[in-house]
Structure 1
Amino acid sequence: MENLDANVFEMKEENINKASKALKAMGHPLRLKILCVIGEKELPVMDIVKQVGTTQSNISQHIDILREKEIITSRREGSKILCKVRDHNILQLMGVMQETFCPASES
């Protein structure tokens, strides 16, 4: 790490706040699981409920937090609420977290 330029980790205050807000929202295990289930897809809330394995009320509360923090967006289609990850950068971050914390087992 000693060869790294001192400016590599400098960030604009606005970007630091955005990153902090995203990480805080993603820091809850259930919200992270919701994001993993959604991935690059757009899913109805009931599909998320089935895959995550908790109540619709609980999922809805966490989806509201993720929406508030601008991590996901949702839209109504008939009687369904469809959710998707708002920003491709979040998906990239999740990919890095997966590589870091869930490495493929070596054969």
Structure 2
Amino acid sequence: MDAKIEDILYDENDIAKAARCLKAMSHPLRLKILCLLGKNSISVQDIVEQVGTSQSNISQHLSILREKNILGSKKEANRVYYYIDDERMILLIEMMRDVFCSKH
């Protein structure tokens, strides 16, 4: 059964949000950060250590992901922790891991 265009495009706002999120995720470093986070909340310092680039570079990419409402953050003492703020994004990351990261 073929899907009709009106069955796919329910809401232009949803389509626009999906496009913005996918564009933000398409950068290799941002995608790496999102895969690292998964369902976890991780401090900036730990992200820097695990991803392997400068803190200023990580901070710029985290800022972009926050602007697109992909990430949330919380401050505890002198550390800022980031997490994926949308369950749908977590599902998407998990699906991408299954498709692209599984060893055959």
Give the alignment's TM-score, normalised by structure 2.
0.92
Residue 65 of structure 1 corresponds to which residue in structure 2? Answer: 64
Residue 84 of structure 1 corresponds to which residue in structure 2? Answer: 83
* SS, match of residue 34 in structure 1: helix
Structure 1 residues 57 and 24, CA gap change in structure 2 (3 angstroms): same
Deviations 1:4-56 (A, max 9, x none): 23144223100001101110110100000011111101111000001100000
Residues in 1 aligned to 2:53 and 2:3: alpha-carbon distance in whole angstroms: 46
Q: Percent identity?
A: 45
Matched, 1:33 2:41: no
* SS, match of residue 54 in structure 1: coil
Residues in 1 aligned to 2:38 and 2:62: alpha-carbon distance in whole angstroms: 14
Matched, 1:97 2:96: yes
Residues in 1 aligned to 2:50 and 2:7: alpha-carbon distance in whole angstroms: 39
Residues in 2 aligned to 1:88 and 1:71: alpha-carbon distance in whole angstroms: 10
Residue 48 of structure 1 corresponds to which residue in structure 2? Answer: 47
**Displacement of 1:63:** 0.3
Higher-helix-fraction structure: 2
**Displacement of 1:101:** 1.6
The amino acid across from 1:24 in the alignment is K
Paired residues of 2:41 and 2:82 also in contact (CA < 8 A): yes
Residues in 2 aligned to 1:9 and 1:90: alpha-carbon distance in whole angstroms: 19
Gaps of 5+ in 1: none
Task: Give runs of ≥4 in structure 1 deviating > 3 Å.
Answer: none
Residues in 2 aligned to 1:100 and 1:13: alpha-carbon distance in whole angstroms: 27
Paired residues of 2:20 and 2:68 also in contact (CA < 8 A): yes
Gaps of 5+ in 2: none
